[in-house]
Structure formats: structure tokens, C-alpha cells
Amino acid sequence: MTNTLKNDLILRAARGERVERVPVWLMRQAGRILPEYRAVRAKLSGFIELVSTPELAAEVTIQPVDHLDVDAAIIFSDILVIPEAMGLPYEMVEKRGPYFPETVSSEKDIQKLKVADVASDLGYVIEAIKLTKKELNGRVPLIGFAGAPFTLFCYMVEGSGSKTFSKARRMLYQAPELAHSLLQKITDSTIQYLKAQIAAGADLVQVFDSWAGILPPAHYEEFSMKYIAQICDAIDEVPITVFAKGAFFAREAMGKLDCRTIGLDWNMDIRESRQLIGPDKTLQGNLDPCALYAPDAEIVKATQSMLDQFGFQKHIANLGHGVYPDINPEKVKVFVNTVKEYSARCVEE
């Protein structure tokens, strides 16, 4: 599949091969920033209907490739499809975010959950990937993804988003063995899920540990990194990216994961991160998402400065977290075009 790609920059960058310019995409590029997305979404009962209808998921996956000119598509789905497939359904409450009517708090709750059966419970994502690959017709690579076990654990125990996730973190102190058994079940589900995404055509996969930053370093090692390492060890078919938001304290350890790319958030100094992580890995990121509120000339300056610091090879340009829904797509284009033009010029020199 890979060899029929017309633009494989992101794959070459991920593998550490030389590129003629820096590839660029945005986390959360498929979504509310695009009027075309909002138009599709408005016709439906809700977010979950969009996620579970392969034809529509494929359509909104490709929208940013058409309208923002990014170098990769990311399959339109959510990290919360895994808890659902394990037996813990979620709702997406308009303007508030995810909500789990039932949560996990006891051994019995964990026993009731199953390891996700991808074929029977996540077939709609697999179908969406196959359709997207067909419709993309090799224009750009397709990124598959999953939530990191710890981030999914947070939602499954807490039941919704939270500033502190103190209910979820309480379990790490009061019943660590229970937490481990849930984390292992999520990990086993995730490995199968990512392998199925790859078999269906995902060219690269990313693990999102959005809540890494709320853990103290020792807990991060024990309750998150350990499971991410299992996933990295199990996936060898395509390059894998680990994005652990806020885990500045774990950068050196992340350099030792069996993955190709490490995502940086915008609080992480680029040169310091390169030193801590080492020369081998590709780095992804990390412009402040709020920089896209700035006047165009400032966006250009900030993007060029970011590119200079990353050094044009072994870099996949992105923001330091998902793009905010109220960002003007024209500003995204300024970012994308600056990455393309400036990096092409600098690589040449």
C-alpha cells in the first residue's frame, strides 16, 4: 500500500529518512474548524452517529486534505470507542464533552469488561479506514490512532472530563492492583485495535496520552509508560508516534521506547527535548495552538522559528496539541504553507 503513495513525506520523516521538506498535519484537523465538517455534522443526531457511519467518517477525514493541504489524513473517530467496545458506552454531550453513564470502581466492574473484539465491536472504524484509503487513492498517508491506556483509564474511572481526574488518580493510591488490571485490559484491546487499523490500511499510528501531565513521574512510569511500552513493542508493522501531553519529566525515558516518533507539546523546549530524547527519533510538534490567533506575519515568524529549532530533518510539523475549534482555517493555511515553503527553502540551502 505504502509504495503507491504519491506523497509519503510523513512516512519518510517518521522512519528518519531524508526529506526535501518538512511534512505537516494538525492534531484535530478533522473537526469543527472546518465549515464543511460542521455542515455534515449538523445533519446528524450527534457526534457518535458521525463516528459510527463509515461513509461520513471517511468524508470528514478527507476534508482537511482538500481544504488545508496537509500531508496526512487522520481517521475520524475518537479514543473513547475502545471503552465502548470493552462494554462501557459513552455519550458526547454537546458543548461539554464525553460522559460515561457507568464507570469503573471495583474488581467486579473490571471483570464485566471484555477485551475489545475488533471484528464485532469496532468494525465500523475498520470499514471507515478501508473506505478512506480507497477514496484518498494514495494522495497522502492515513494515520490511525488510539488513546493511551492511562488516558482511557482516566475517562473510564472518572466518567467524564475533569481538571484533576482525582477520582481516577485516587485508585492509583488506594487500589493499585485494580488499576493495573484495568490498564492491562485496555492495553490488550488497544494492541488488537491498532493492528486491525494497520491491516485495514493505516500507514502510521499515533497513541494519544492526553492526561500524562497530571501524574507524578513515578506514577507515570508505573501506570502509563509501562503500558505504552507494551503497545510500542507489539506494533512493528508501521511507524508509531507517542504523544504524551505534559510529560516533560519523561522525555528521556520516552527516547528509549520502541517507537519512531515522539510528540512534543508547546511547553517543551525543542532543543532540550532533542538532547533528552537523543538523535535517533523523529520529533513531532509543537507550535502553541494559540499562536494561530496571531496576525499572519506573527504566525509565519513563530513557525519559522519552530522549524529552525527542529532543524528540518526528523521532524513532523504540528501544533503542540489539537487545533482549537474557533481557529480560522485561513490561519491554519498560513501555518501549513509556511512549513512547506520555508522548510523547502532551508533544506535546499
Q: Is 321 annotated as a binding residue?
A: yes
Helix (H, G, I), strand (E, B) or coil at 243: strand
Q: Is 155 annotated as a binding residue?
A: yes
Residue 313, classified by CB atoms within 10 Å of its CB into exposed (0-12), middle (13-18) or buried (19+), is middle
Exactly one of 21, 37, 71, 78 is catalytic; which is it?
78
- Residue 123 or 322: the one with the smaller Cβ distance to ligand CP3 is 322
Q: Which of 59, 71, 78, 158 binds ligand CP3 (CB under 6 A)?
A: 78
The answer to the question of residue 76 lying near ligand CP3 (CB under 6 A) is yes
**15 carries an active-site annotation:** no
DSSP per position, 180-234: HHHHHHHHHHHHHHHHHHHHHT-SEEEEEETTGGGS-HHHHIIIIIHHHHHHHHH
Are 34 and 103 spatial neighbours (Cβ–Cβ below 8 Å)? Answer: no
Site of grid cell 519512531: 260
User: Considering only 21-29, 100-108, 228-236, 262-270, which stretch makes contact with ligand CP3 by CB under 6 A?
Assistant: 21-29
Q: CB within 8 A of 5, min separation 6: which ones?
A: 11, 138, 140, 141, 203
Q: Beta-carbon neighbour count of residue 92 at 10 Å?
A: 16
User: Considering only 90-98, 122-130, 184-192, 293-301, which stretch makes contact with ligand CP3 by CB under 6 A?
Assistant: 90-98
State the greatest distance between any 2 C-alpha atoms of the chain, in Å, as a whole number.
Answer: 62
Exactly one of 28, 69, 139, 269 is catalytic; which is it?
28
In terms of DSSP bridges, do strands 91-93 and 282-287 run parallel, antiparallel, or are they unpaired? unpaired
- CA 183, CA 321: separation in Å to the nearest integer? 24
**155 carries an active-site annotation:** yes
The answer to the question of residue 161 lying near ligand CP3 (CB under 6 A) is yes
- CA 77, CA 65: separation in Å to the nearest integer? 16
With CB under 6 A as the rule, give the number of residues binding ligand CP3. 21
Binding mask 141-160 for ligand CP3 (x = CB under 6 A): ----x---------------
Please state the separation of Cα 182 from the chain's center in Å.
21
**18 carries an active-site annotation:** no
Binding mask 35-54 for ligand CP3 (x = CB under 6 A): ------x-----x-------
Q: Is 78 annotated as a binding residue?
A: yes
Cα→Cα distances 75→130, 191, 269, Å: 10, 17, 29
The answer to the question of residue 31 lying near ligand CP3 (CB under 6 A) is yes
- CA 302, CA 83: separation in Å to the nearest integer? 38
Q: Which of 13, 27, 57, 179 binds ligand CP3 (CB under 6 A)?
A: 27
Interface positions, 177-216, toward ligand CP3 (CB under 6 A): 208, 210
**32 carries an active-site annotation:** yes
**28 carries an active-site annotation:** yes
The answer to the question of residue 29 lying near ligand CP3 (CB under 6 A) is yes
The answer to the question of residue 311 lying near ligand CP3 (CB under 6 A) is no
Are 51 and 278 spatial neighbours (Cβ–Cβ below 8 Å)? Answer: no
Q: Is 29 annotated as a binding residue?
A: yes
Q: Name the residues that contact ligand CP3, by CB under 6 A.
A: 27-32, 41, 47, 74, 76, 78-80, 92, 97-98, 145, 161, 208, 210, 322
Annotation: binding site: 28-32, 78, 155, 210, 321
